Amino acid sequence: MDDISSQPWRWDEQTWRGKVDHVRAGLSMKPAKWKNGARCAVALSFDSDHETNELRDGGKSIGRMSQGQYGNRQGVPRILNALAKYDAKATFFVPAVAGLLYEDEQRRVVAEGHEIGIHGWIHELNSQLPYEIERDLMFRSADALERITGVRPVGLRTPSWDFSPSTLRIERELGLLYDSSLMADDDPYELLEQGEPTGIVELPVEWIRDDAVYFNMHRFNGLRPHTPPTAVYDIFFREFERAYEEGGLFLLTMHPHVTGYRSRIWILEKLLEEITRRSDVWIATHAEIAAFVKAECP
């Protein structure tokens, strides 16, 4: 049994404040107007996990790895075709192992004007790793993606949005422009570390705006949330509409092995159709949005 003194209800104020203040939302970086006077910014992102979800868990299920391969064979091509149809640029967060498995995919993504960001080495859980190992994996990931694409990544989305006590320190050592793993706001903000500004822009995520929570199935865990695509579209579009009304950021997270199916790619296509009807919306990569807000809020 744990020592009773280690229980959270026994912590002194310095302890609980220290945990809260370790990584914190600082200055709001929501601009008065977006680029070229746009009312709203849209950041579409795709986490190209492919086989790494199963590899992280031991690589025992060939069936789950085949689902990951679907992301490369069908999901990414369908997503890229939809983005091209509406001339929309996006960000793909790629675990380095997925990048190494599908180097041509990453080169196509970059060649078509999209961004590739860091998404860990093998979709590991950062909170389970000591600083030295997490740092090594992140630096190796950045190096691998740069070698494959010729472009050095400037942003990170932690695998499973699992942000360890060391992650922000490592992002600063990597010299990154932005993170996209945390949830303290709807709009961009600056990350604080122990109360000190870091200069790193947070482009916040949320499970509400993630396709996986509505569709992911795991046979042996009893996970069966197969939500109708129309319901998921309705949630995503409501999020966009309110971001538009407030002049804010609409950031969406999708996965090629989740949304890439015939019945689901419609969600992305319909969103793009509705978003691009409005002339005052700026659709951009995460790097473009982070650079813009940093210049507007130095």
User: Quick one: what percent of the chain has pLDDT higher than 70?
Assistant: 96
How far separated are the first and last CA of the chain, in Å rounded? 50
**Cross-strand partners of 94:** 118
Q: How many CB atoms lie within 10 A of CB 3?
A: 7
Residue 14 pLDDT more than 60? yes
**Could you give the CA distance from residue 7 to residue 51 in angstroms, rounded to a whole number?**
38
The predicted model gives 142-157 an average pLDDT of 98
Angle between helices 131-149 and 167-174 (to 10 degrees): 40
For the chain, give every domain's residue range.
26-296
pLDDT per position as a tens digit, 41-83: 999 999 999 999 999 999 999 999 999 999 999 999 999 999 9
Q: Which range has the worst mean pLDDT, 145-159, 221-235, 236-250?
A: 221-235
CA distances for 214 relative to 127, 163, 207, 231, 239, angstroms: 25, 22, 9, 9, 15
CATH H-level superfamily of 26-296: Glycoside hydrolase/deacetylase (3.20.20.370)
Instruction: Summarize pLDDT for 161-179 with one digit per residue, the tens.
Output: 999 999 999 999 999 999 9
Q: Read off the pLDDT of residues 212-231 as tens digits, 9 standing for 90 and up.
A: 999 987 766 666 778 999 99
Lookup: tokens for 257:
């092995």
